[in-house]
């Protein structure tokens, strides 16, 4: 009578893990149409990433952001939520859950509040304001929300000024105007990377430490982890990698994007400064009205938190 071989539990767990990894490695890739000419490739990009209407009125994004320099790295958790047409809110927390920054972008510009120092800053241009405050992404929160959702119409011009064939497949499209000066598409019409010029307001970590930056002041944004590459339904890239001068980089890993079909309640997107907060305008503008709390969080329970606060319970992050 034969007996089945005996394996210790640790060995069985290792074998199960190996089997799961093997299945993941063999996940089917979605067969997308391929293009060997630039115009059909660009049209495929437009049909997927610029022409479709936005799904819903807004969104709620949960992501992690790793900002790295040659000497340090800092990981934070990010919530970006609100209306595509604005206002939009962004809450940034440390890995241990401590609130680091709360931001609001609307038609009046950008307002940012830092609870640890009880300081707030504002600028009427959301891009300039973000760059003065050291945010890595070189465009507005609205543009970032659109790109995370897979929509590029606010950034990429309609017609390129030059086209180049890439040796490994795909094409590069150059633009003389606009925030994006180079768009690289793979042979499936998907964005692989974008490049643009940094404004004079943005400073890398090296510049903040007094080191000059020579050469071109440019940014590069790479798009990785398309879900169809793992056999999942077609969707936007889940990983955005921003490369900056002097070795700075920022990697945004998108964990979830929840489409918001109903309009957000105005309170859910408010950013009211607590009493005693020190306000500094990055240009000439009055301080916002103070309030007793700062509302945070873009989840489905945001309105409930406001209702709780109205009843006298805590809803403050300050």
Domain with 132 in it: what CATH number? 2.50.20.10
Residue 289: its pLDDT value, please? Answer: 58
Residue 20: its pLDDT value, please? Answer: 47
For 245, the 3-state DSSP assignment is: helix
Residue 270 lies in a domain: no
pTM strictly above 0.85: no
Residue 296: its pLDDT value, please? Answer: 42
SS (H, E, C) 126-159: HHHHHHHCCCCCCCCHHHHHHHHCCCCCCCCCCC
The helix (H) or strand (E) run that includes residue 49 is: helix 38-49
Residue 84 lies in a domain: yes
Q: Check if the beta carbon of residue 313 is closer than 8 Å to that of residue 304.
A: no
Asked if the bond preceding 187 is cis, omega within 30° of 0, the reply is: no
Q: DSSP state, 284?
A: S
Burial class (CB in 10 A: 0-12, 13-18, 19+), 127: buried
Which positions ≥6 away from 6 have C-beta within 8 Å? none
Residue 27: its pLDDT value, please? Answer: 56
Residue 223 lies in a domain: yes
Q: What is the pLDDT along the chain (318 residues), one digit of tens a residue?
A: 544 444 455 554 555 555 544 444 455 667 899 999 999 999 999 999 999 999 999 999 999 999 999 989 999 999 999 999 999 999 999 988 999 999 999 999 999 999 999 999 999 999 999 988 988 888 899 999 999 999 999 999 999 999 999 998 999 999 999 899 999 999 999 999 999 998 888 888 778 888 876 777 899 999 999 999 999 999 999 999 999 988 999 999 999 999 999 999 999 999 999 999 999 999 865 666 554 344 444 544 433 333 333 333 333 332
Residue 241 lies in a domain: yes
Structure tokens given for 165: 């064939």
How far is Cα 129 from Cα 231, in angstroms, rounded to an integer? 40
Number of domains comprising the chain = 1
Q: Check if the beta carbon of residue 112 is closer than 8 Å to that of residue 122.
A: yes
Contacts 24+ apart (CB under 8 A), 106-115: 109/285, 110/140, 110/141, 111/271, 111/288, 113/271, 113/273, 113/277, 113/294, 115/294, 115/317, 115/318
Per the structure, the complete domain to which residue 235 belongs is given by 54-152+188-260
C-alpha closest to that of 191 among 224, 166, 148 = 224
Q: Check if the beta carbon of residue 197 is closer than 8 Å to that of residue 217.
A: yes
Size of the chain, expressed as the number of residues it contains? 318
Structure tokens given for 26: 């063999």
In Å, what is the CA distance from 251 to each residue of 68, 93, 244, 285? 8, 16, 11, 33
How far is Cα 257 from Cα 89, in angstroms, rounded to an integer? 14
Structure tokens given for 138: 């070189």
């Amino acid at each position: 009578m034969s007996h089945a071989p005996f394996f210790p539990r640790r060995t069985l767990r290792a074998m199960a893990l190996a089997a799961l990894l093997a299945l993941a490695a063999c996940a089917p890739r979605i067969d997308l149409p391929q293009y060997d000419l630039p115009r059909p490739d660009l049209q495929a990009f437009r049909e997927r990433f610029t022409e479709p209407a936005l799904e819903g009125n807004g969104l709620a994004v949960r992501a992690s952001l790793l900002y790295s320099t040659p000497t340090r790295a800092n990981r934070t958790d990010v919530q970006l939520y609100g209306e595509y047409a604005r206002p939009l809110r962004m809450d940034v927390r440390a890995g241990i859950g401590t609130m680091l920054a709360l931001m609001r972008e609307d038609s009046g510009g950008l307002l940012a509040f830092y609870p640890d120092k009880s300081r707030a800053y504002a600028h009427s241009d959301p891009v300039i304001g973000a760059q003065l405050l050291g945010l890595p992404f070189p465009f507005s929160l609205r543009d970032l929300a659109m790109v995370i959702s897979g929509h590029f119409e606010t950034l990429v011009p309609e017609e390129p000024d030059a086209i180049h064939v890439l040796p490994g497949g795909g094409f590069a499209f150059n633009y003389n105007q606009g925030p994006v000066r180079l768009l690289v598409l793979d042979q499936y019409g998907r964005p692989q990377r974008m490049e643009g010029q940094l404004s004079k307001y943005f400073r890398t970590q090296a510049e903040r430490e007094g080191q000059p930056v020579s050469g071109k002041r440019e940014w590069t944004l790479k798009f990785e982890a398309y879900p169809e590459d793992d056999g999942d339904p077609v969707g936007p890239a889940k990983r955005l990698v921003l490369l900056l001068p002097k070795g700075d980089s920022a990697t945004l890993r998108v964990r979830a994007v929840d489409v918001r079909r109903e309009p957000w309640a105005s309170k859910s997107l408010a950013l009211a400064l607590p009493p005693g907060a020190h306000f500094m305008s990055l240009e000439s503008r009055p301080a916002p009205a103070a309030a007793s709390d700062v509302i945070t969080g873009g989840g489905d329970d945001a309105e409930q938190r406001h209702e709780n606060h109205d009843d006298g319970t805590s809803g403050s992050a300050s």
